[in-house]
Amino acid sequence: MWEEVQQTVSYIKERIDLTPEYGVILGSGLGSFTEEMNVEFVLPYSEIPNFPVSTVQGHKGALVFGTIGDKKVVAMQGRFHYYEGYSMKEVTFPVRVLKFLGINKLIVSNASGGVNPAYRVGDIMLIKDHINFAPEHPLRGINDERFGPRFVNMSEPYSRKMIAKAKDLADTLNIELKEGVYLGLQGPTFETLAEYKMVKILGADCVGMSTVPEVIVARHMDLETFGVSVITDMGDEDSIETISHDEVLEAAQLAEPKVRTLIKELILKY
Ligand code: HPA
């Protein structure tokens, strides 16, 4: 894995003359964030050696390099999910590449199903913690100390300083935020009513199919990490029949301008 990461990083560095400080992973329906960037280089995943290729509708597949103000950013337009058939090591390979391209902060976004009864479709939730309910762990197997330690401290998976800054900014921008716990399942099925209930009882506020492995690997490499989730459907009895991927994308797109602004401001001001 170390060699593959270095090979991919060398390939990218030969083509791209920009050392990013921030990495941003754009989830379902949030891909237009790159419009906030002064884009300098775009590398389709299909051209990057060792990169998986994203197979999900609503997820483009490219690394986008550019600036926001004086901050240098690389955005992943499209991510990889376990349900697509990749191993967790494949799902998280790009995060390792971003680290060795130079980033020290990672911002992740996703769409999720809300189980907190105070939530509504279209809400934006800062992820303050997560519960890993995925069937495979990205750090399982021999640990390569060059990436990070065998046993990773997960007491602050999401940077409290970044969360505090985002809340300040949201106040000024008049963006209403929730703050809660994200539980990661493998998908690709949406949850049954009994499963949404389980998620709630386990102590989470929302549930989704991504993010957790990426954040684990980011923390393995000591990246400061920030996560934001758009509630695209509610796992309650009244609305459960209506959930489809198209509706998830539609709801995510409605919240997109606010999420875009928040992430942009955080990058500018943090
Ligand atoms: N469940 C799991 N993943 C999701 C959901 C959901 O309800 N909505 C968006 N992604």
Question: What mean pLDDT do residues 177-205 have?
Answer: 96
Supply the pLDDT for residue 52: 85
Q: Is 111 in the pocket of ligand 1 (CB under 6 A)?
A: yes
Q: Is 208 in the pocket of ligand 1 (CB under 6 A)?
A: yes
d(CA 268, CA 187): 34
pLDDT surpassing 80 at residue 241: no
- Nearest CA residue ID for atom 10, ligand 1: 112
Residue 114 CA: nearest ligand 1 atom is 7
Q: Is 196 in the pocket of ligand 1 (CB under 6 A)?
A: no
Q: Of the ranges 63-67, 137-141, 162-166, 242-246, which one carries the lowest mean pLDDT score? A: 242-246
Q: What percent of the chain has pLDDT over 90?
A: 85
Pairing of strands 124-132, 224-234: antiparallel
pLDDT tens digit string along 1-52? 999 999 999 999 999 999 999 999 998 767 889 999 999 999 999 899 999 8
Q: Is 121 in the pocket of ligand 1 (CB under 6 A)?
A: no
Supply the pLDDT for residue 54: 63
d(CA 24, CA 106): 6
Query: How many domains does the chain fold into?
Result: 1
Residue 235 CA: nearest ligand 1 atom is 7
d(CA 61, CA 95): 14
Question: What mean pLDDT do residues 139-149 have?
Answer: 97
Q: Is 112 in the pocket of ligand 1 (CB under 6 A)?
A: yes
Res. 253 pLDDT band, cuts 50 70 90: confident
For residue 152, the enclosing domain spans: 2-269
Q: What is the CA radius of gyration of the chain?
A: 17
Question: What mean pLDDT do residues 186-197 have?
Answer: 94
Question: What mean pLDDT do residues 239-262 have?
Answer: 80
Measured in angstroms, how far is the CA atom of residue 34 from the centroid of ligand 1? 23
Measured in angstroms, how far is the CA atom of residue 208 from the centroid of ligand 1? 5
Query: Which CATH number is 233's domain given?
Result: 3.40.50.1580
Q: Is 210 in the pocket of ligand 1 (CB under 6 A)?
A: no
d(CA 104, CA 154): 17
The CA–CA distances, whole Å, from 260 to 86, 235, 263 equal 28, 25, 5
d(CA 248, CA 201): 23
Supply the pLDDT for residue 22: 98
Residue 248 CA: nearest ligand 1 atom is 9
Res. 254 pLDDT band, cuts 50 70 90: confident
Question: What mean pLDDT do residues 149-175 have?
Answer: 97
Question: What mean pLDDT do residues 69-97 have?
Answer: 95
Torsion angle defined by CA atoms of residues 229, 233, 237 and 241, in that order, rounded to the nearest 10 degrees: -150
What is the overall mean pLDDT for the chain?
93
Supply the pLDDT for residue 55: 66
Pairing of strands 22-26, 105-114: parallel
Measured in angstroms, how far is the CA atom of residue 241 from the centroid of ligand 1? 13
pLDDT surpassing 60 at residue 127: yes
